[in-house]
Amino acid sequence: MLGYINKSLKPEKSRLFLCKPNRETVAELSEAYAKKLNTINNGIHELSFKVPFVIEKNKEFVRNPNVDLIRGHYLIRYEKGNEKQYFIIDKPKNTADSGREIKDVHCFLLPFELNRKMIRDYKVSKRIYDSVGSSGILNETLLSKTNWTIGYIDADIALKVRTMDVSEQSLIELIDDICRTTNGVAQWDTVNKRLSIYKLESLSHDMGFSIEYGKYLKSIIEEPDFSNVVTRLHIYGKNGLSINNKNFTQESYIEDFTYYMYPFERDVNKNVINHSNYMSDELCHALLDYQILLDQKKSEYETLSNDKGNLELDLTIKTDELEYLQLQLGFIWNDIDRYNAQGWDASFLITDKTNKENEIAAKQAEINQINSQIATINTSIQAIKDAIAIENNFSADLIAERENFINEKIWTDNNIDDEYQLYQAGLTQLDKVKQPTIAYKVDIVDFLKVVECQRDWDKLNLFDYVTIRYPNLNINIKAMIVGFEHDEDSNTINVEITNAKDINSNFLKYKDFMKKFTSTSRRLDMSQYKWDKSEENESNINKIINEAFDATAREIKAGVDQSVNISERGIIITDPNFPDNMLIAQAGVLAISNDGGLSWKHAVKKDGIVAENIFGKLGAFVQVRADSIILGDNGEKLSDGVIENSSTWNGAVTTANDAWNAAQNAIQKGVSYSSAFIDNTGIYVKDGAGEERVRLGEYESNQYGIKVTKGKIYGTYIQSGEEGSSNYIALSSNGSEPLSVVANGENALHVGTWGNGGSIQFSRYDIDDLRGQIYPHDDQRGDGLRIHARNGSGSSLPLHLWGSDVYIDGRAFFYDGIVVIGDKPAAVETENYGYRLLFAHEMPQNKFSDEGFAELVNGQVKITLDPIFLETIEPNDIGTEWFIKLHNTDTYLNLRVKEIGDNYFVVEEKDGLNGKFIWSLSGIRKGYKDRRLDIVDIPISN
C-alpha cells in the first residue's frame, strides 16, 4: 500500500566477530562501541570501533577477555542483515584516558592484505584479463600469487591491452592502476575472496533519494574548486605519442572555452541574448565565428590531405622504381669497369648505359610531376593554415583577452599507443576538467535507525545518485555519492558527493549545444610553420624502420659536395669542377679516368701499372724491361747511344727530374682535393663555405697537433700527456669506466657507471686501493644518491665532511649511534627573539624519561605508565631502578611514592589530602644498563 509503514520492521544493527586469518571465529565483540564504517570510492573501506578493557558481568566489573584476543592481522567479520564483509585489523591501539582503558581498533577491507604482495621487474604488454587462458596481467599477478579469484570483469576492460613496466609495486597498487587507467571500479567480494571490475555507469543508479532542508539534512558544505579548471589540454601517450596527426590543426593540444563563455547566447543575426559571466561579447563572437571557420576548413583540409596521401603513395612507388633503375645502372657500370680493367671492348655496354640513363630520366620526370602536384596541395594547405591562424581571426586586444582564459595542463596515458584512441581519450579527459569541480559534504541524521524512513533504507549506496536541496544557498543538485561515513553510535551519516550537476543551471544544455566547440585552434608562435612536417617525418621514419637496408641498392656518400662516393662500384672520387676526371678503387684495381668512367687510361692493377704517361724517379738498381721506350708526344724513341752515353742519358734523367718536380708542385702543393689542402704547415680541410674545419700539423704558431672546429673526434681511446707517461687522463670506450685519472701509473679517479646510474670512484694511487664512491642507489633505504667510503675489499672506511658549516636539508638518520664533539642544541624559532639554541639534558648513562599531571583522590592515586614507553626502558630492578620525582602544584601537599609496580606506581599524601601534582620518571634505556661513561677514541681535530 502506498505510504504504508511496517511498524514491526526494525532497523538492523551491525555485529562484529573476531576471526583468525583462516576465518575461524574466535569471539563475538558484542561489547564493541563507537562503530564507524567509512565507505569510500576506491573500494578499500575502513572500519573502526572501541573495545573496553573492563566490562560488567554478573554485576561486577571484570577484565574483558576479548581484549587479549584482538591482534594485528586478525580478521573482523562485519554482519548487518544479509550483508557480510571481512576486514583485516591493522592498528589495535591501547589507550588510557582518565583511568579508563580502551582498545581502539582500526581495520581495512580484506583486499588491503594485497599490500603485502609485491610485484618486481614486471614488464609486459598484454590484455588486462584472459578468461580462457592464462596470458593476462591479472592472470600473471593476482591469480598466480594469491588465493583471490576473478568474478566479473567488463569485456571492454578485460580486452584492453596495457603496457606495464613495474620495477616494484604492491598488488593492491597494481590493481588500482588498472582501474584508474581503464575507468573501471573494483568490487571486492570478501566472503569468497573474489575481485570484479565494472564500468562506473553499470554501478550507478538513480533511486530517487533526496536530502533537503527539513528532511534528513543537518549541515551542508559546498566547496567549488576553481584551481584545476583546464581550457587547453596537452595530450600524450606511450613513448611521447601525440595527437598532431589526428588533430585537424596538427597541434598536440585541444581547447574548450565553454565554461568561461557561459551563458553567452546570440541569435542568427548575432544579436546578444545573454552575456558571458567572464568574457566580453566581442571575444565570444570571435570564438564562435572561429569555430564555424574551423568546421568549414576541416572538410576542405581532409580532402586535400587524402589527395596528398594518395600522391605520396604514388611517389613512394615511383621512387622505388627509380632506385631499381639506378641499381640496374650500377650493374652496367660494374660491367663497364670490369671490361675496361681487362682491356675488352665495352662499346655495347656504353649503349646499355645510355638507354638506362634515358629510362631514369623519364622516371625522374614522373617523380617531378608528382612532386609538383604535392607542392600545389601544400600551397593550398598553407592557405588553410594561414586562414585559421589565431592572429588572422582575432584582434590584438582579443588575443590578449583570450590569453586570460588559457589554463594549460599536460595529460599523459602511457598505456595508449594509438593516435585515434589517444585523441578520443583526450576529449573525454578535457570534458572532465573544463569546468570547476564542486564537492559537497553533507551531514544527515541516521535515518537508517528510523522506522518511518524504511522506504529509504536501501537508497544510500556508493555511486548512486542523490538530490540535495537547500533553497537559501540556491543549491539544487543531483550528484553521485562517492563516499559516506556511518557512525552508528552518534546517529550521524556524512555523505560526500562531487562532480555535481546543477539541476537549476542551463549549463548542461548549453554544454551539449557547444560540444563541437572543443576547438584545437592554431598556436600563436613560430612552431605553426612546422605544421605540415609531422606526416612527412613519420613516413620517413617508418621507411627506415620497416625497410631492410640494402647495401647493394643504396650508396654511401661522403666528402664535400659529394666528391667521394662509396657504392657497389667501389670508392669513386670526383672533382665537382671537373666531373669527367675521376678515380675509382675496386678489389685489385686503382684506376683513373678522364672521360667520366667510359674508359680507364691509367690503372694500378694486381699485376702491374697501366698508364698513358708516367712521371717519376727510377732509383738505383732498377731493371727496365720494355719493347720500346717512347720519349716524345709524337712517338719519338731513344736514339742510338743514349744508354751507352752517360752524358746523353743524364740529360734525359735531368729532363725527367724537372718534369717530376713540376708535377709535384702542380699536383700536390696548395691544390684542393675535395676541399683538402696541403701546405708547409700541414694538411687542412675546409667546408663548402671556405671555413677551415680540420687541421693536422702546425695549427697555431709553434703549436702542433690536430685541431677540429665545429666538429667531433671519435676514438676508442684518447690519452693526455706524452706516450708512456705515468700521469695522464684517459677517455675510453669502456662503458663502466670511460674516464680515468692516473697518477704514478696507478688509478686515482674513475668516472663511469655503477649499477643503473653514474659513478665517481676515488682511489689512493700510492697504495693502489679504493677509498670511496659516489653513486645512485635504490634499496630498502630509498632511491637516492650514496657516498660510500670503502676499500677495494668492501670494508667501510671513515667519511670526513669538512667545512665551516655542514647543512643537511631533510631528516638525518644515524645507525649505530652518534658522537658529537661540542654541543648539540636544537635551534628553536621564537616569536620575538628570533632563533635561540636549546641544549639537550645529558647524563653519564643513557636514560629516557616521561612525565605528566596527576590528581589525588582520597589522598592517593595510581599512575599507569604508557605501555609503549615501558618497552623502551629497563624494568624497575636492582641496578636499573626507576627514579621518580614529584612536584607540588598545591604547596601544602606532603607526597611520597607508596608503591612501584611493573607498569605503574602509587603516590599518597601523608595526611590523606587531595590535590594536583606533577610527576616525572626516568629509566635506563633498554639494552644499555651496563654502559656508563663509555670511553671513546676521538680523531684529532681537522
DSSP 651-704: HHHHHHHHHHHHHHHHHTTT--BTTEEEETTEEEEE-TTS-EEEEEEEEETTEE
Q: Which residues of 868-879 are buried (b: 16+ CB within 10 A; e: fewer)?
A: eebeebbebeee
**Model confidence band, residue 659 (pLDDT cutoffs 50, 70, 90):** low
The pTM assigned to this predicted structure is 0.41
Retrieve residue 879's grid coordinates: 641496578
Question: What average pLDDT does this structure show over 382-403?
Answer: 89
Distance, in Å, from the CA atom of 598 to the CA atom of 110, rounded to the nearest integer, reads 86
Distance linking the first and last C-alpha atoms of the chain:
93
| Residue 827 pLDDT > 80 | yes
pLDDT tens digits for 634-646?
555 556 555 555 5
Question: Which position has the higher pLDDT, 703 or 222?
Answer: 703
pLDDT tens digits for 399-430?
999 899 888 999 888 878 888 888 888 888 88
Question: Which position has the higher pLDDT, 845 or 674?
Answer: 845
Q: Say what the pLDDT of residue 374 is.
A: 93
Q: Tell me which amino acid residue 410 is.
A: I
pLDDT tens digits for 326-347?
989 988 998 888 888 788 888 8
pLDDT tens digits for 138-158?
999 999 999 999 999 988 888
CB-CB neighbours of 292 under 10 Å = 10
**Model confidence band, residue 631 (pLDDT cutoffs 50, 70, 90):** low
Task: Give every CB contact of residue 122 below 8 A, 6+ residues apart in sequence.
Answer: 140, 141, 164, 165, 166, 169
- The total number of residues shown for the chain amounts to 942
- Residue that has been written with the C-alpha cell 568490487 in this structure: 187
- Please state which of the ranges 372-386, 424-438, 483-497, 828-842 shows the lowest mean pLDDT: 483-497
- Please state which of the ranges 83-92, 252-261, 717-726 shows the lowest mean pLDDT: 717-726
Question: Which position has the higher pLDDT, 920 or 568?
Answer: 920
Q: Say what the pLDDT of residue 1 is.
A: 36
3-state helix, strand, coil in the chain (%, to 5): 25, 35, 35
Q: Which residues pair with 589 in a beta bridge?
A: 586, 605
Q: Say what the pLDDT of residue 369 is.
A: 95
pLDDT tens digits for 771-814?
888 888 877 777 888 888 888 777 888 888 888 788 888 777 77
Q: State whether residue 392 is helix, strand or coil.
A: helix
Q: Say what the pLDDT of residue 923 is.
A: 95
Distance, in Å, from the CA atom of 871 to the CA atom of 790, rounded to the nearest integer, reads 36
Our CA angle for 750, 752, 753, nearest 5°, is 135
- Please state which of the ranges 230-239, 435-444, 701-710 shows the lowest mean pLDDT: 435-444
Q: Say what the pLDDT of residue 448 is.
A: 57
**Model confidence band, residue 573 (pLDDT cutoffs 50, 70, 90):** confident
What is 791-823 written as a DSSP string? -TTS-B------SS-----S----SS----SS-
Residue 224: cis peptide before it, omega within 30 degrees of 0: no
pLDDT tens digits for 511-562?
333 333 444 444 343 232 223 333 333 334 333 333 333 333 344 344 444 4
Q: Say what the pLDDT of residue 656 is.
A: 54
Four-CA torsion 382, 385, 391, 392, nearest 10 degrees: 80
CB-CB neighbours of 649 under 10 Å = 14
Question: What average pLDDT does this structure show over 214-237?
Answer: 78
**Model confidence band, residue 234 (pLDDT cutoffs 50, 70, 90):** very high
| Cβ atoms of 706 and 698 closer than 8 Å | no
Strand runs labelled E in 831-926: 834-838, 847-856, 860-864, 883-888, 895-900, 904-909, 915-924
pLDDT tens digits for 59-100?
788 899 999 999 999 999 999 888 899 999 998 989 887 778
| Cβ atoms of 678 and 672 closer than 8 Å | no
| Residue 361 pLDDT > 80 | yes
DSSP state, 142? I
Using CA atoms, how far residue 878 sits from 844, 882, 927, in Å, is 18, 10, 15
Q: Based on the number of CB atoms within 10 Å of its own CB, is 248 exposed (0-12), middle (13-18) or buried (19 or more)?
A: buried
Q: Say what the pLDDT of residue 859 is.
A: 92
Q: Say what the pLDDT of residue 433 is.
A: 80
Q: Say what the pLDDT of residue 503 is.
A: 37
| Residue 305 pLDDT > 50 | yes
Helix intervals (H) in 753-902: 867-870
| Cβ atoms of 921 and 905 closer than 8 Å | yes
pLDDT tens digits for 183-193?
788 889 999 99
pLDDT tens digits for 911-942?
889 999 999 999 999 999 988 988 887 776 54
Question: What average pLDDT does this structure show over 376-404?
Answer: 89
Question: What average pLDDT does this structure show over 277-301?
Answer: 89
pLDDT tens digits for 99-153?
788 999 999 999 999 988 999 888 888 899 998 888 899 999 999 999 999 999 9
| Residue 492 pLDDT > 50 | yes
Retrieve residue 429's grid coordinates: 579527459
Our CA angle for 454, 460, 465, nearest 5°, is 125
Q: Say what the pLDDT of residue 569 is.
A: 63
Q: Say what the pLDDT of residue 108 is.
A: 92
Mean pLDDT of the chain: 78
| Residue 48 pLDDT > 60 | yes
Q: Which residues of 558-585 are buried (b: 16+ CB within 10 A; e: fewer)?
A: ebbeebbbbbebbebbbeeeeeeebbbe
Q: Say what the pLDDT of residue 41 is.
A: 63
Distance, in Å, from the CA atom of 183 to the CA atom of 851, rounded to the nearest integer, reads 53
| Residue 27 pLDDT > 70 | yes
Helix intervals (H) in 795-924: 867-870
| Cβ atoms of 135 and 126 closer than 8 Å | yes
Q: What's the count of helices (H) and strands (E) in the chain, helices before strands?
A: 14, 51
| Residue 721 pLDDT > 90 | no
Task: Give every CB contact of residue 757 below 8 A, 6+ residues apart in sequence.
Answer: 775, 776
| Residue 658 pLDDT > 50 | yes
Own/partner pairs for 851-854, CB < 8 Å, 24+ apart? 851/918, 851/919, 851/920, 851/921, 852/918, 852/919, 853/916, 853/917, 853/918, 853/919, 854/907, 854/916, 854/917, 854/918, 854/919
Percent of the chain with pLDDT over 90: 25
**Model confidence band, residue 325 (pLDDT cutoffs 50, 70, 90):** very high
pLDDT tens digits for 240-256?
888 887 777 778 888 88
**Model confidence band, residue 627 (pLDDT cutoffs 50, 70, 90):** low
* Kind plus residue range of the DSSP H or E element containing 396: helix 396-403
Distance, in Å, from the CA atom of 909 to the CA atom of 172, rounded to the nearest integer, reads 57
**Model confidence band, residue 655 (pLDDT cutoffs 50, 70, 90):** low
Percent of the chain with pLDDT over 70: 76
Q: Say what the pLDDT of residue 366 is.
A: 94
Question: What average pLDDT does this structure show over 451-470?
Answer: 66
Q: Tell me which amino acid residue 609 is.
A: I
Distance of CA 330 to the CA centre of its chain: 49
**Model confidence band, residue 205 (pLDDT cutoffs 50, 70, 90):** confident
Q: State whether residue 339 is helix, strand or coil.
A: helix
φ, ψ of residue 613 to 5 degrees: the values are -140, 140
**Model confidence band, residue 601 (pLDDT cutoffs 50, 70, 90):** low
